[in-house]
Structure 1
Amino acid sequence: MEKTTLPTTAINLLQFLLPLITSLSPTYTNVIHLGCSNRCGGVAVPYPFAIGDPKCAFSDAFLLNCSSTAPPQLLLGNIPVTNISVEEGTFSVVFPAAYSCYGRTGSPMKDSRVRRPHVNLGSRRPFRFSDVHNKLTAFGCGAQALITNEDGGSGCVSVCGTASSLPVVCPGIGCCQSPIPQGLKTIEFATSSTSNHSGRVSGSSNPCSYAYLADDRFSDFGGVNLAEFPERNPGNSIAAIEWVVEEKTCEAAMWNSSTFPCRKDSDCVYSKNGNGYRCSCKPGFRGNPYFGCQDINECAEPEKYPCRGRCKNTQGSYSCSCPFWMRGDGKDSCQSLLSVKDTIAVCGGIISFFTIVLLAFILHRRREREKNFLLNGEMLLEHQRVRIFKESELSKATKNYDASHFLGKGGFGHVYKGILPDNTLVAIKKPNGSLDQAQTINQEFQHEIAIVSQVNHINVVKVLGLCLETKLPLLVYEFIPNGTLFDHIHRQRSSIMSTWQNRLRIAAEIAQALDYLHSLANPPIIHGDIKSTNILLDEGFRAKVADFGASVLIYPDQATAMVNKIQGTLGYLDPEYLVTGNLTPMSDVYSFGVVMVELLTGEKPYAGNLARTGETVNLIQYFLTSTENMNLGRIINFAVVREAEMDEIEAFAEVARRCLSFSGRKRPTMNEVAEELGRLRKLNECSCGGESCMSPLTGISEGRVGTTEEQPPASIGTLDMESYEIGR
């Protein structure tokens, strides 16, 4: 077996520390015959296991080998064993890592930088990989790990942000974990990568994908620096193997009492990981159940078995009694005996104390609400037209923010559905930060209220009021009942999405709202996070733009907004904004172009593959290629009922293509987009009525569908993430 060192992680150290750690726990090394060896290289080998000699083991399945190396090593076949636990029915093994590396051309290497372990515990051995303790762990940028056997398997995919070191836990950023199925006796690793490693500069990043099967009680991947991780020999891990004595029922095993292995004061227990049983000491006993368990003297271990009174050991248990002047269960506490008079006095004092505390708390809450109102109320001078709600009013409307009223997450908090006393439905945005973040959240709150309070458009969600009595203020919006455009496109078979007319209407309404924000709002507003999840549909399925948490105001002396951190959603983000950090109205134009592609194709822009075919492809690149090849028919996911509709779809696609230009200067303004979609909508309404009321369209571009200019890079919108923020 390959043995390596990895000084930058704790993985290989576990091979040496685990025997030391387990040695601190009780071990039972009973042997069935004199002369049977019960230790190899510092690892205790208790019965039913044995080393070498079949007469020392319960069966041949439990025979292990002790190598002749220095120091000697306990082996199951060629797999090193580091610990055996009779109590848990497990043993720990050293497990090789799987990895694959990629050259600077982006192609997998064919040399020794690929390792795909195949481990077979043996079909006749009653051993299985533990599904309780083991986790499949993979790390690397774009690492894909898969563990398989003849019945299936499991796997996971990790992605990388800007950080090169892994956190203490494994959240999916540079590292991922997955449970394994039950009953595995044979497994095979496979690793691959979703990242394009071509053009990599030596030392700038790690071109490898790594996978481990690791016992999560002893594995720690925190602090691993991916850039410094070795491309060869990434080391091993510690994995847990569960074992049973025989793969039969307890009833069948008990028929022959002479061979039944469970001895005095032990129970026959079934495995939860496949067929079979093992022996376990009864409660109050410990030891090796295959030789007979011994009673635990609980009185000698007060840390584990507490007793506040007089302790007396019994067979399989213990008793604890309080002294005669005290009462209670000695295992919990002993209380002094008080007279009735003393009890009344004590109770009266307690009631008085809590009454004073309650009154003080009520006064404190009242003063806090008044203080918060004064602290948050300075913005009222600028925003007089919004309603001021009381904290109790909103708490009652949401049943104290019950989970049944939870709608989702917004720009800076959670959103709840509320019902006011007049039965008006509202959406309440509640900040979810800590009190330590109150100042920052207040600034974000004031930023959002400064924007939404001055917006008044039929296709923009309306703010109804705010609450200033809480430490972190609340926003109250009109309630939009029919969910998000994303849900109607991707998550449900929505009849509203079955026709081209409705898709065109929704796109035109969104364009009108953005045109209003860019041109008619004073000062103009850049939304900053246009996506289908931020487009809501009201009771009449009218589109309404929502969530202004990432929005900015553009004052007369500004053409762009330089932001401190890039906000938005992968797949919708303007590539020029990503490069320069300058947020412009053209950034909204690009994001709207992505929404137009969603409406045409029914595909998610950040999924990385097509839902209909499973083909791995960048959606925007796929769309632009289809328009260039005059092949729109293969990408739309709705029925075209009239020949005239195809002309409208081609004109619509041309607008989307222009919006997706890499350079912002080559994109149309939202005013031009809104006018063009408005003309398309009127043409659609006329053609539906059987009339020809419009002359051929004069589009916002001079070319027809199929002429492309610059295209977004293939990396934009291919990561499997919803949203992100990048600090500048």
Structure 2
Amino acid sequence: MKKMLLPLLIAALVSPRLPGPAAAAAERQLQQCGGVDIPFPFGIGHGYLETPGSKEQPFNVTCSHRTDSGAPRPKPTPIVDGMEVLHIDVPRGKVHVMSMVSSWCYNATSGSMGDPSLWSYESATFRVSDDDNRLTVVGCNAFAYMWTRDGGADDKYLVGCNATCSRGVRSLADGSCSDSGGCCQAPIRPGLSFNVSFVGYDDSSTAGGIPGLGPASPCIYAMVVDKEAFEFRTKYVTTDELLKAGGSWEVPMVLDWVVGGNQTCEAENRTTYACRSDISKCSNAKNGGPGYTCSCPKGYDGNPYLPGGCKDIDECKAANRTCPAHSICRNTPGGRECYELKLLLEIVGSCIFVVLLGTGMSCAYAIRKKKRLAAMKRQHFKQHGGFLLFEEMKSRQGQGRSFTLFTEEELEDATNKFDERCVLGKGGNGTVYRGTLKDGRAVAIKRCRVAGDERQRWEFGKEMVILSQVNHRNIVKLYGCCLEVEVPMLVYQFIPNGNLHELIHHGGGAPPPPFSLRLKIAREAAEALAYLHSMASPPIIHGDVKSPNILLDENYTVKVSDFGASVLAPADDNSHLVTLVQGTRGYLDPEYMQTCRLTDKSDVYSFGVVLLELLTRRKALAMAAAPEEERSLAAHFLASVRDGRLGGLVDARIKDEVGGEVIETVAVLAKRCLEMSGERRPSMIEVAEELDRIRKVCVIGDGIAILVGDGN
């Protein structure tokens, strides 16, 4: 007896695995062939549940463009080993396919029955659905049966059906399939294989053919067919139309499929567990044998074999929503809730009242907080001399100088709320941040550390008035300030090339700066300090002159910065009495530390230390240096001059560039700046003029002095 192996569409007796690339492909898109969806765990070529160690892939569907004979199909057809797939039902674990029709026809030429065409099915991995299919026999006086092995080789289960035409062919009616109407159906039993036979064909039949079979009923048929898809037609009895109706003698049939191989839900292997959705349900196979199926729980729909495949059903939008009239439906995970409209209105009303009450209280609190914040900002603005500064700015309108009073919000936006990644440096007078204003200008924003009484805060505002008028090419430009905060903030132009301390002490691997550049920097810094001492009105004492506060732009032009310790010098004695000595160790004027009186000569002393840094490339204070007398650069220098050891202290690089007389001249100027008595020190104007004279003199060859140009 001929047997045709049904295509292996589902792995039922093997452990599934979900390969990475295949699973990714399945999850990305829904495959199709000829208008038929091919959902995971099925797939075309890739994207299906594979069977490890097997050459056959039961979940692999072939999209065929040709028939078995090689003729082109009208459209692509999903095929598995020659069988056409009509529909794959993932939630129910069903596959609808086209099955063969067994037939036995009368041969009019020989006047006897021809050879029957019988169909049998046997598969270890696929099961015919007993719920959806029926054994169906069509014809007059046609008796056929199917048998299936149910255990041992001799253990058979039989089911048969006898179709008669007791009242003649003309009495048959379309749509009816009964024992007396040319068609009969019988339920089938779950099994792994079956064979279809006609009575009169095998050894158990009655020989001599089938009584009544002839021109009025040329053939009899037997098939396992989907009970919902088959509809009886009288022409199936009177003609051979049934052989042509399905094309190639085929009719719809429903198959059950499972996953899991020999596993069950109770003994599942989590490494190969096929139910991938987190909320999926597992059910053991019902149609005989091991294996299991996956499904989404009630209230969910989708593909339980994919991660996250089970999606909540919106019952409120479904056609069969069950909420009563005059109620409101709210969808919930896996279900829905119904609210009576009256109760809902009461709840909504209560919620609105609570919301309005809360909103009113929040608004009142926000308004009160806003007023308190505004009052605090006005108080800070007044304490820092903001009103004085504002009046001064009004009086100087039209003079071509701009000074801006920034808000705290503007500076927060410029620095990303004073992000630590924007910090340029921290010092005793505050922290400096880099920021960008809304107009695109890069700025340095200094958050000052100002403390003191009301008079000191007022002096700060007055100081801002003076600094806003500073206009010198070698002093960093002050764009404005923010006074509405507890401690004021200053906004300066941003200088991109670092400072003098970094240039001469670190350098980043670059060669030391030449003597000409060092002299240029010293001269420009001296001119900036001379401007503050002599040309600003009233004079300004910087108070913290040091190499880190001498900034350098992209052309190495000096920009003196950091006026956090600056004071306005009184007009009578050009000095300022302080209660707290400010400055940097190594640069502080000894006389200032003893008398607490800050003068313009205090800046001269600090500048002298900067000159020594330029001459020696040594730091102003080296705590790790030995012996102890060499820790202070100023003290070491004065001792070296006194003992005639200056040559060992000067940077070797500049000894090769200029003659000893030039170096000695600069050293003499530095020594004058470092006099213990401020009265014996030169003014910054004298220092600037002396440096300008030295710059114009270049010692070459055998020490002949010539005058050079006055360019920068």
Do the structures match in fold with TM over 0.5? no
TM-score (norm 2): 0.45
Larger Rg computed on CA atoms: 2
TM-score (norm 1): 0.44
